[in-house]
Amino acid sequence: QFQLAVPVAVVFAPGSVPGDLPRPLPFRDVQETEIPVNLKTTVTTRYETIYRSTTAQEEAALGAATAREADAALHPLQDTSLGSLTMYVVPEMSSLLPQGVSVYVGKHRSALVRAGGGLAALRARLQQLTQVMAFTVSSITAALSDRVPDGQLGPDARRHLKSSLGYEITFSLLNPDPKSHAVDWDIEDAVNRYVQPVLDKLSLVANFSVDSQILYYAVLGVTPRFDKESSSFLLSAHSLPHVINPVEARLGSSAASLYPVLNFLLYVPERSHSPLYIQDKDGAPVSTNAFHSPRWGGIMVYNVEAPASPQTSLPLHVEVDMVRVMEVFLAQLRLLFGLSREELPPEFLLESPGNEGLADWELDRLLWAHTVENIATVSTTLTSLAQLLDKIGNIVIKDDVASEVYRAVASAQSAVAELAVGHLHSAFQASKEAVTSSERAFFDPSLLHLLYFPDDQKFAIYIPLFLPMAVPILLSLAKIVQETRQRKKEPTKLD
């Protein structure tokens, strides 16, 4: 069904062209692979690769001292459309890449690859690189997780948030013991400083709203175990699922919008349960003292140092170290969006995204996955709408609902078409429109009306008619049966 086209440009710096090229530069090459998702759905990926040699400007940029500088210098020379990738092949002996590193992925949509070996070796490396920078089989199947049969998915596949037009991020500080701890956090500044840059980058993907609250007397649902050795309290991994439920009742749903909520909770344990540590499955304490719940958010336990003298007057004033907290929450946020950096071979070097918190190619990864997921969602929504209409024959479809359905289908088709030619940005926009239209059609109040009562009730009303009418018919039928039986019996008797 799906065809994902990734435009890739492979640029050879002088002295890096492998000897066994099939044709002289420049030339085009198309590679197709198929990813089976289930019996009906297959995803075809198409790498449209252009092989060419560097221009004079690029050559000058590649002459920079370090990979980072080269990356910055190359950025204005590239195709900046979303989803496209540029890979520069540098000579094997180039000093641009550090020793032992053969692939360098920059902040934007480009990478530097050290030449070496023949064309086949280079191709394999480039293939691996496109998977890192665009999508992998697992990221696409995770996006289509609703259609993949259970058991075929890895544990991470259901961790990512569903694609949505917007997300609400709520930071909550839980203070179960305001009598002993007066906890303050400068969340406003921390959000502006650490979270907002990431969200600005992600604003292409969805709308985000951030808010925070402080909840008092909110306790965890589990009583932690006291550990005598370390004189601390421990929460073991298997009890963590029970932690969230009682807290969630206090969090308050977002009444004003329908977007999914991401909760990040900072829990300051009661004085009687301090310090509190989270244990992983092996019994070792978790270094960050935090855990996350897939598609829901994360919880971090923030221990307050016990006062030096027991005579210290209560409540103890606590100022939360927001750097420590935000590091954890941002890592959890990336994880929930499926942006965690996967395990890579050691010769890969990824540039840290710096202040923006997110590299351009990571954004592309997210867009690929979300576009595919949106299209899948639209098709699921429209299919269930069609099933509903099949089930209830006399339902009335208003013109505006019908036009929303048409619009959804048209947008979904254009999204698929744009994906097939590699226009990621327009494909994503179209898929977003398709989702909006299909949801609007599906949740239209005119389809929810309870007036469509089922046919069996109509039948029940006419039972007083059908039952007395059936009596003479059944009686005469019985009579006929009796008579035929008798007629059959009579000849045998005569014999």
Partner 1 sequence: GGMLAAAVLLLLAAGPGPGPGPVRAGRDALREELLLSPLPDGDVAATFQFRTRWDADLQRGAVSHYRLFPKALGRLVAALGVRELHLALTQGFWRTRLWGQPPLQAPPGAELWVWFQPTVTDVDKAWEELSNILSGIFCASLNFIDSTNTVTPTASFKPLGLANGTDHHLLRYAVLPREVVCTENLTPWKKLLPCGSKAGLAVLLKAERLFHSSYHSQAVHIRPICRDASCLAVSWELRQTLTVVFDTFSSGQGKKDWSLFKMFSRTLTDACPLASQSKVYVDISPKNKEKELLEVTPPPASVHEAVVQGDKRTYAVYDLLSPSLFNTSRSLNVQLKWKRPQDSLDLPTPVLHAQRYVSGYGLQTGEISTLIYNTHPYRAFPVILLETVPWYLRLYVHTLTIITKGKENKPSYIHYQPAQDRRRPHLLEMLIQLPANSVTKITIQFERALLKWTEYTPDPNHGFYVSSSVLSALVPSVIAMKDVDVEQSPLFTSLFPSSDGSSYFVRLYTEPLLVNLPTPDFSMPYNVICLTCTVVAVCYGSFYNLLTRTFHVEEPSRGGLAKRLANIIRKFRGVPPL
Enumerate residues 187-226 that contact partner 1 by CB under 8 A: 187-191, 193-194, 209-214, 216-217
Q: Residues 82-121 vs partner 1: string with x where CB under 8 A?
A: ----------------------------------------
DSSP 79-101: --STT-EEEEEE-TT-SSSPTT-
Number of residues that this document lists for the chain? 495
Measured CA to CA, the distance from residue 164 to residue 220 in angstroms comes to: 29
Nearer to partner 1, 24 or 472 (CB): 472
> In sequence order, which residues have a C-beta less than 8 Å from that of residue 452 and are 6 or more positions away?
392, 394, 395
Supply the minimum distance, in Å, between the C-beta of residue 223 and partner 1: 17
Of 59 and 184, which CB lies nearer to partner 1 in the complex structure?
184
Site map for partner 1, 457-476, x if CB under 8 A? ----xx-xx-xxx-xxx--x
**Which 259-288 residues touch partner 1, going by CB under 8 A?**
278, 280-281, 286-288
- Closest CB to partner 1 among residues 53, 212: 212
* Total interface residues for partner 1 by CB under 8 A: 75
**Contacts of partner 1 in 130-189 (CB under 8 A):** 155, 159, 170, 178-179, 184, 186-189
- Give the three-class secondary structure for 45: strand
Nearest to 138 by CA among 109, 160, 164: 160
Please, which residue, 151 or 464, has the CB nearer to partner 1? 464
> Under rule CB under 8 A, which residues in 227-246 are in contact with partner 1?
237, 240-241, 243-245
Residue 352 as a binder of partner 1 (CB under 8 A): the answer is: yes
Q: How many alpha carbons lie under 13 Å from residue 479 in its C-beta half-sphere?
A: 6
How far is it, in rounded angstroms, from Cα 251 to Cα 267? 13
Answer yes or no: are the C-beta atoms of 279 and 198 closer than 8 Å. no
Residue 188 parent element (H or E): helix 187-190
Helix H or strand E segment including 32: strand 27-36
Count of beta carbons in the 10 Å neighbourhood of residue 427? 28
Lookup: tokens for 219: 């306790």
Of 424-443, binders to partner 1 (CB under 8 A) are none
Scan residues 288-327 and list those touching partner 1 (CB under 8 A): 288, 290-294, 296, 298-299, 315, 319, 321-323, 326-327
* Stretch in the footprint of partner 1 (CB under 8 A) among 35-43, 108-116, 255-263, 424-432: 255-263
